[in-house]
């Protein structure tokens, strides 16, 4: 597998991680069977993508990118769908996270 394919899998894993976090939140402590099933399925999918991506990508950079996608993506979903705060300071810190991730990727 090429590094380019690894990066695609890593991004897919990060996006699936965001969906997993949302499903886990909606499962209400795993009391809702549908959201609970979705949560477990998404967990398996994001781990499968992550494991494959890490076969060809540098661990430190890949994990930072993956974590950033999950953190910023979950923050965005929370703001859009769960009524979480959209204060400018939160957006600014999310922007700093993105700048840091891009910097790590470009310097690897």
Is pLDDT at 107 greater than 90 in this prediction?
Answer: no
What tens digit of pLDDT does each residue of 35-91 get?
999 999 999 999 999 999 999 999 998 999 999 999 999 999 999 999 999 999 999
Q: pLDDT-based confidence at 104, cuts 50/70/90?
A: confident
Q: pLDDT-based confidence at 106, cuts 50/70/90?
A: confident
Count of structural domains, the chain: 1
Is pLDDT at 108 greater than 90 in this prediction?
Answer: no
pLDDT at 76: 94
C-alpha distance from residue 9 to each of 16, 18, 54, 65, 79 (Å): 10, 14, 9, 12, 26
In which domain, by residue range, is 21 found? 3-107
pLDDT at 4: 95
CA proximity to 52, closest of 20, 83, 8, 86: 8
pLDDT at 79: 94
pLDDT at 19: 97
């Amino acid at each position: 597998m090429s590094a380019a394919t690894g990066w695609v899998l890593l991004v897919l894993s990060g996006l699936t991680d965001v969906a997993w976090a949302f499903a886990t939140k909606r499962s209400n402590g795993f009391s809702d069977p549908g959201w609970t099933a979705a949560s477990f399925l998404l967990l398996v999918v994001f781990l499968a993508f992550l494991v494959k991506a890490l076969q060809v990508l540098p661990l430190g950079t890949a994990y930072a990118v993956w974590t950033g996608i999950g953190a910023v993506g979950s923050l965005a979903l929370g703001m859009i769908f769960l009524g979480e705060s959209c204060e400018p300071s939160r957006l600014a810190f999310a922007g700093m996270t993105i700048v840091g991730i891009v910097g790590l990727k470009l310097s690897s």
